[in-house]
Amino acid sequence: MQEGLYLRDCYLKEFDAIIENVKDEKYIILDKTAFYPVSGGQPHDTGNIVCNDQEYNIVFVGKFDGKISHEIDKEGLKEGDKVRCIINWNRRYKLMRMHTAAHILDSVIHNESGAMFTGNQLGEDKSRLDFNLEKFDREKMKSYIEKANEEINKNKDVKITFMPKDEAEKLSMLLDWDYGDMKELRVIEIEGIDKQPCGGTHVKNTSEIKRIEFVSVENKGQGRKRLYFKLSE
């Protein structure tokens, strides 16, 4: 199982690595990587691999058989190459802000309404949260967002810890989520606001989020509601 460097350091933007394997000329496995593979509702990173003054664009990152695989846009890299890797920080940082904002919203909505979460999809421009509420109204949703913004304004630190799986699972607000057979889970704690298992990338302090804005709410059928939100710059 390959552990991404982003698990312990979400702010690592550039790093050196050695190519461990190349498949079909365009799927690259590195000896270590900080590129985030698509998972848990957070989109994959993009960026570049530089080798001998040649630049290769990373167009997709996924985790397969426990290894993080980087899909590049052209041929030329080979096993053993020493490479410089650069993450598209603009995209990643937006997703980090979105992810931490989503945790704060999860927590506020759960505490205020008792809702559990059934899914989420983060995006650079807007994100969505799905939860199991029978009833909701726009004004209530807006008031939850205001509460979340009050929490953001407290400039709280966001901490990364690791915990035994059974202990960490109790903190989850996700319905029927399978955390697999790992012994330890990574836990994201937003001081005094939220604590839950998560493998995603997060900002260090809530002040970096700035402000959550309401976009829309959708009724997705009985007991299924969807909230769209964005962040102000």
Amino acid at 113: S
Residue (of 115, 129, 171) closest to 41 by Cα position: 129
Span from 109-117, 123-131, 133-141, 194-202 in contact with Zn ion (CB under 5 A)? 194-202
How far is residue 20's CA from residue 31's CA, in Å, rounded to a whole number?
A: 6
Q: Least separation, in Å, of the C-beta of 197 and Zn ion?
A: 8
Nearer to Zn ion, 69 or 120 (CB): 120
Q: Which of residues 104-133 bind Zn ion (CB under 5 A)?
A: none
How far is Cα 223 from Cα 96, in angstroms, rounded to an integer? 29
User: Which of residues 41 and 47 has its CB atom nearest to Zn ion in the complex?
Assistant: 41
Q: How far is the CB of 198 from Zn ion (least distance, A)?
A: 3
Cβ closest to Zn ion, residue 12 vs residue 160: 160
Residue 19 or 41 having the CB closest to Zn ion: 41
Shortest distance (Å) from residue 213 CB to Zn ion: 20
Residues of span 51-70 touching Zn ion by CB under 5 A: none
Site string for Zn ion, 3-42 (x = CB under 5 A): ----------------------------------------
111-133: buried (b, 16+ CB within 10 Å) or exposed (e) per residue? eebebbbbebebebeebbbbbeb
d(CA 117, CA 201): 19
Which residue from 4, 37, 47, 200 is in contact with Zn ion, where contact means CB under 5 A? 200
| b/e map 157-184, b = 16+ CB within 10 Å | ebebeebeeeebeebbbbeeeeeeeeee
14, two tokens: 């550039």
End-to-end CA distance of the chain: 37
Under the criterion CB under 5 A, does residue 198 sit at the interface with Zn ion? yes
Pick the piece of the chain touching Zn ion (CB under 5 A) from 23-31, 123-131, 191-199, 210-218: 191-199
Binding positions for Zn ion, rule: CB under 5 A: 198, 200
